[in-house]
Structure formats: C-alpha cells, structure tokens
C-alpha cells in the first residue's frame, strides 16, 4: 500500500484528490511536500507515513522553495522524533544532513555516481558549490582521483562537510595518507583565482545562477578537462543554455565542445534539471 492509498480512507471527499503519494527519503527522516488543501492534516500525513515505513523516525514537511544564496528550504517536523539532522546513506557513503540549514538532494545520487565513473586515475577534481560534500565523498569512494578541492559558502554546510569527510575516512580513503578531499569555506568567485589551469574536471551543481561562474570554470579548468554544468530548463529546451555556454566560452577565448547533455531530474511539471558536460579543448 502506498501513502496515498493509506491516507484516502482518512480524508474527506474534498481532501482525497490532494493526498500525497511521493516523498524524499533522507535515511531516518522523510521529507514531504503537503498541498495547501491538506495544511490542517500534516500530522495525520506524517504519522501515516511512519506507520507505513517504520524506518523513518521523523517526518518533516517542506515549508518553502529553495531560497537565498545558500539554496536552503525551510522544513518543519510534523511527526515522530523532534530532530532535523538526518543520517543518510548513498552509494556506500554516509552523511549527516541538517535539513533546513543546507541544500541537499538525494535525487542527485545518480549524477554523483555517473561523474565518479568518468574520473580517471590521478585526476584533480573541483567540487564547487559542495554543500555537505556529497560529490567529493562519493568521488573519493568510487574513483581513483588524486584529490578533490571542495568549495562552499554556507558555514553550516562547511561544518557538516568536515563531519562527513571524517565520517567516511575509513571508507576507502577520503583521507588515508595524503588528504584526498580539501574543504574550503569561501566564495567560488574568489577562491577559483587560486586555481588557474588547475583542474582536470569541475562539477558545478548550482542551477539558476551557475552560469555566472562559467568564466571562473573556464579559468580554472586545464586544457582537455571537463566541466559538469547544471541548469534548470523548460522541458527539452536545451538550446538557450547551450548558447549561454558557447557565449561564455567565446568571452573566455576557450574552444569547447558539449560532449553530453541529459535530464537529471524533474524540477516542476514544466521544468527539469539538466547537465551539460563541457570539454575544454
């Protein structure tokens, strides 16, 4: 039985069509979007979800969009234990995630693994906009990279990134000998200046405003390197972003080729998150 089916008998005829079916799992915490028509039934939705999936100690509701420069979404505990720090596992790595204080999406796990599989032995990787460090930690576990330099502005995300690197240290070396993950708290605009022609690969998961940092990516990437660039587009409409990338490359006097483009996840009924892999020649 799914959540919608479990809720329907407990809702009025007017409420039934709004019963939610899907939610995101953050390990011990479930995060769910509840339509405004059910705003008085949040507790019922949360408790029903815990009954269906007892692995969840807590259910939180989404209370805002991702906002501000840290791309943070407000959340509220609606059922179970009063806690907001999730303990989440992905691709044999573990993470503490303070919901409501940092950006994190389990729906990007496939992307993290896809890039890990592309990383060649000895590569130096830029994990820009790194949040609580899911990209560099999955890269460390699943590739033979030399090291990743992770840059993040949000001090809370940086604090948890440190905790998460520590948590995964014994897990095929985020550390061990030479540090394989270097965490920098700072602004990519400023920090990237230290890394001219430095990276073999840069992941830049900052949809909406990431294009403002393409200049920095073209400055920091080596010849022959690849930039993984993310954006939100109207479904299927890759063209606008492709032009934006080409224009930025021209300004930076770089010859580039888009070697891969694909949908990463749905963003809304009309929009999707996509990735472009840009080879800098």
Give me the residues that bind ligand SAM (CB under 6 A), please. Answer: 69-71, 103-105, 108, 129-131, 134-135, 151-154, 157, 187-189, 205-206
Q: Determine the Cα–Cα distance for residues 158 and 131; give it in Å rounded to an integer.
A: 7
CB of 152 to ligand SAM, least distance (A): 5
Would you say 151 or 278 has its CB closer to ligand SAM? Answer: 151
Would you say 80 or 106 has its CB closer to ligand SAM? Answer: 106
Q: Tokens at residue 72, please?
A: 């943070």
Residue facing ligand SAM at closest CB distance: 131
CB of 224 to ligand SAM, least distance (A): 24
Would you say 16 or 74 has its CB closer to ligand SAM? Answer: 74
CB of 248 to ligand SAM, least distance (A): 16
Would you say 119 or 188 has its CB closer to ligand SAM? Answer: 188
Q: Computed from CA positions of residues 33, 69, 111, 275, in that sequence, does the dihedral angle turn out positive or negative?
A: positive
Residue 208: count of CB within 10 angstroms of its CB: 11
CB of 47 to ligand SAM, least distance (A): 29
CB of 67 to ligand SAM, least distance (A): 11
Is residue 135 a contact partner of residue 157, using CB atoms and an 8 Å limit? no
Q: Determine the Cα–Cα distance for residues 96 and 138; give it in Å rounded to an integer.
A: 14
Quote the radius of gyration of the chain (alpha carbons, Å). Answer: 20
Would you say 23 or 213 has its CB closer to ligand SAM? Answer: 213
Q: What's the 3-state SS for 187-236?
A: CHHHHHHHCCCCEEEEEECCCCCHHHHHHHHHHHEEEEEEEEEEEEEECC
């Amino acid at each position: 039985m799914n959540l919608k089916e479990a809720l329907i008998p407990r809702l009025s005829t007017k409420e039934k069509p709004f019963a939610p079916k899907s939610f995101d799992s953050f390990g011990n915490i479930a995060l769910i979007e509840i339509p405004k028509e059910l705003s008085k039934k949040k507790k019922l939705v949360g408790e029903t979800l815990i009954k269906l999936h007892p692995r969840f100690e807590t259910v939180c509701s989404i209370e805002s969009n991702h906002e501000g420069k840290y791309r943070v979404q407000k959340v509220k505990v609606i059922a179970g234990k009063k806690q907001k720090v999730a303990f989440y596992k992905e691709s044999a790595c573990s993470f503490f995630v303070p919901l409501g204080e940092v950006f994190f999406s389990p729906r990007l796990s496939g992307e993290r693994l896809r890039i890990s599989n592309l990383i060649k032995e000895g590569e130096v990787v830029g994990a820009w906009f790194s949040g609580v460090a899911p990209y560099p930690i999955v890269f460390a576990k699943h590739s033979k990279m030399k090291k990743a330099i992770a840059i993040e502005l949000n001090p809370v995300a940086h604090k948890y990134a440190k905790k998460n690197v520590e948590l995964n240290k014994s897990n095929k070396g985020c550390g061990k000998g030479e540090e394989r993950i270097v965490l920098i708290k700072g602004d990519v605009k400023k920090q990237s200046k230290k890394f001219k022609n430095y990276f073999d690969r840069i992941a830049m998961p900052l949809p909406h405003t990431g294009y403002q940092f393409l200049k920095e990516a073209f400055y920091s990437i080596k010849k022959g390197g690849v930039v993984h660039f993310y954006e939100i587009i109207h479904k299927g409409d890759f063209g606008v972003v492709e032009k934006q990338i080409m224009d930025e490359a021209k300004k930076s006097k770089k010859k580039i080729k888009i070697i891969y483009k694909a949908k990463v996840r749905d963003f809304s009924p009309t929009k999707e998150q996509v990735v472009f892999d840009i080879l800098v020649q």
